[in-house]
């Protein structure tokens, strides 16, 4: 369906990729040193900075080799597109499974069964959506149902362009579905009402954070748990509160090896080790430190886990089926989000 797979396109991408590779290699010294590129989503900057340093150390201790790990950050969907278009990523660590599915389906650089290649379906950590509200919670927001109270303005990114935005959308839908006797119709209406109360639809999760935290718009920011705590700790504990709803979504930011790229670059061994490292005790502790939910919580420190309270997490797959269906049903052209935004006016 995408004419990007024609031969000229592929050749152009190969040339582009070689140029990019040459540029990145040329920037350092042209030594024969292994270098990994991790193409990641937006809010993981702080996490991977620390994690990569730990991996470099670990790799040096185990093999004696010096390795460099680069990370590129951006909206999950556009990051997936850069990999499809030829960025030589060794591993992708994205915000939502459907973005890795898209790479597998469109570019075939990742096998379709990538979930089976790593423990816990390619999820070294998971996360969820919590609320950031103004200090003292003046609008009394406790649960998803409070977001559609008449005087509440919600700040959330566009689910078309942001993985975080998609999780928010699915979380709200799942909440209403469970609440209203598993009625998809009622859940659709709930989400429709919620998006009518969104005054600004930013293109990425960080954009929404800025709109909420710095521009002072809106009463509540549903966002990644890690992002909420980051804002809380960086922008001011005196200005915001984190509200953890009783139920929320089991948000899955998966990781995968880009097979076609590592074979071309000869970096398979290091890239595989990098992904395995994400499941090690050290990495698991780091996930918790940055307020992600480690897949093996026993490896994390108690005081970090204290920040990740018990929440009833539901899997959207249990409610809507496979990721192909979820993506098509909600976010593809003509999907639920498009239908909901058909009614203009607020």
Taking CB under 8 A as the binding criterion, the range among 44-52, 140-148, 206-214, 234-242 that sits at the site for another protein is: 206-214
Taking CB under 8 A as the binding criterion, the range among 142-150, 170-178, 294-302, 327-335 that sits at the site for another protein is: 327-335
Contact between 41 and another protein by CB under 8 A: the answer reads no
Residues ≥6 apart with Cβ < 8 Å to 200: 155, 208, 211, 217, 218
- The site string for another protein over 151-180 (x = CB under 8 A, - otherwise) reads -------x-xx-------------------
The 8 Å CB, 24+ separation contacts for 331-337 are 331/98, 331/159, 331/160, 331/166, 331/169, 336/188, 336/191, 337/159, 337/160, 337/169, 337/195
Site for another protein in 43-102 (CB under 8 A): 75, 77-78, 81, 84, 102
Q: How many CA atoms lie within 13 A of 2 on its CB side?
A: 13
Burial of 247: CB neighbours in 10 Å, binned 0-12, 13-18, 19+: middle
Taking CB under 8 A as the binding criterion, the range among 55-63, 137-145, 200-208, 290-298 that sits at the site for another protein is: 200-208
Sheet holding 67-72, edge to edge: 67-72, 34-40, 91-93, 255-257
Sign of the dihedral defined by the CA atoms of residues 82, 85, 89, 94, in that order: positive
Taking CB under 8 A as the binding criterion, the range among 32-40, 180-188, 227-235, 330-338 that sits at the site for another protein is: 330-338
Contact between 342 and another protein by CB under 8 A: the answer reads yes
User: E strands along the chain, which residues?
Assistant: 34-40, 67-72, 91-93, 125-126, 129-134, 220-224, 240-243, 247-249, 255-257, 293-294, 312-314
Which of 104, 198, 275, 278 forms a contact with another protein (CB under 8 A)? 198
Which of 11, 182, 215, 312 forms a contact with another protein (CB under 8 A)? 215
What residues pair up with 130 in beta bridges, in sequence order? 223
Q: What's the closest the beta carbon of residue 215 comes to another protein, in angstroms?
A: 4
Contact between 202 and another protein by CB under 8 A: the answer reads yes
Of 64 and 344, the one with the shorter C-beta distance to another protein is 344
Of 160 and 291, the one with the shorter C-beta distance to another protein is 160
Q: What's the closest the beta carbon of residue 198 comes to another protein, in angstroms?
A: 7
Of 137 and 341, the one with the shorter C-beta distance to another protein is 341
16, containing H or E segment: helix 7-27
Which of 217, 273, 299, 305 forms a contact with another protein (CB under 8 A)? 217
| DSSP label at residue 298 | G
Size of the site for another protein (CB under 8 A): 34
Which of 26, 140, 199, 236 forms a contact with another protein (CB under 8 A)? 199
Answer yes or no: are the C-beta atoms of 205 and 130 closer than 8 Å: no
**Phi then psi for 64, rounded to 5 degrees?**
80, -5
Taking CB under 8 A as the binding criterion, the range among 139-147, 304-312, 313-321, 335-343 that sits at the site for another protein is: 335-343
Q: What's the closest the beta carbon of residue 200 comes to another protein, in angstroms?
A: 5
Taking CB under 8 A as the binding criterion, the range among 24-32, 110-118, 262-270, 333-341 that sits at the site for another protein is: 333-341
Q: What is the DSSP string of 21-58?
A: HHHHHHHS-----EEEEEEE-GGGHHHHHHHHHHHHHH
Q: What's the closest the beta carbon of residue 116 comes to another protein, in angstroms?
A: 24
- The site string for another protein over 96-135 (x = CB under 8 A, - otherwise) reads ------x---x-----------------------------
Q: Which two tokens stand for residue 297?
A: 């919580």
Radius of gyration of the chain (CA): 21
Q: How far is CA 253 from the centre of its chain?
A: 5
- List interacting residues with another protein (CB under 8 A): 2-4, 75, 77-78, 81, 84, 102, 106, 158, 160-161, 198-203, 207, 211, 214-217, 331-333, 338, 341-342, 344-346
């Amino acid at each position: 369906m995408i004419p990007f797979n024609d031969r000229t396109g592929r050749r152009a991408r190969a040339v582009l990729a070689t140029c990019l590779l040459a540029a990145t290699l040329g920037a350092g010294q042209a030594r024969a040193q292994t270098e990994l590129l991790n193409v990641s989503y937006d809010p993981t900057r702080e996490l991977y900075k620390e994690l990569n340093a730990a991996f470099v150390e670990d790799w040096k201790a185990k093999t004696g080799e010096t390795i460099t790990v680069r990370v590129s950050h951006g909206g999950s969907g556009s990051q997936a597109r850069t990999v499809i278009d030829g960025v030589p990523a060794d591993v992708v660590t994205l915000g939502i499974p459907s973005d890795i599915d898209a790479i597998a389906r469109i570019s075939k650089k990742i096998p379709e069964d990538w979930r089976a290649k790593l423990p816990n379906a390619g999820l070294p950590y998971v996360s969820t959506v919590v609320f950031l509200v103004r200090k003292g919670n003046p609008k009394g927001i406790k649960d998803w149902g409070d977001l559609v109270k008449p005087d509440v303005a919600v700040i959330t990114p566009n689910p078309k362009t942001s993985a975080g935005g998609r999780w928010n959308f699915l979380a709200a839908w799942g909440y209403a579905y469970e609440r209203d006797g598993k009625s998809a119709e009622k859940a659709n209406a709930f989400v429709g009402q919620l998006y009518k109360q969104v005054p600004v639809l930013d293109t990425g999760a960080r954009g929404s954070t800025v709109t909420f935290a710095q521009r002072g718009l809106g009463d509540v920011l549903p966002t990644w748990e890690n992002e909420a705590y980051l804002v809380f700790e960086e922008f001011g504990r005196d200005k915001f509160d984190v509200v953890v709803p009783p139920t929320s979504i089991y948000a899955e930011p998966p990781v995968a090896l880009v097979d076609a790229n590592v074979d071309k670059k000869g970096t398979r061994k290091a890239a595989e080790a990098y992904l395995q490292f994400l499941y090690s005790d050290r990495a698991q502790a780091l996930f918790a430190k940055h307020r992600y939910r480690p897949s093996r919580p026993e490896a994390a420190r108690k005081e970090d886990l204290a920040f990740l309270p018990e929440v009833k997490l539901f899997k959207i797959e249990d409610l809507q089926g496979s990721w192909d269906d979820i993506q098509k049903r909600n976010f593809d052209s003509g999907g639920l989000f498009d239908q909901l935004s058909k009614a203009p006016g607020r």
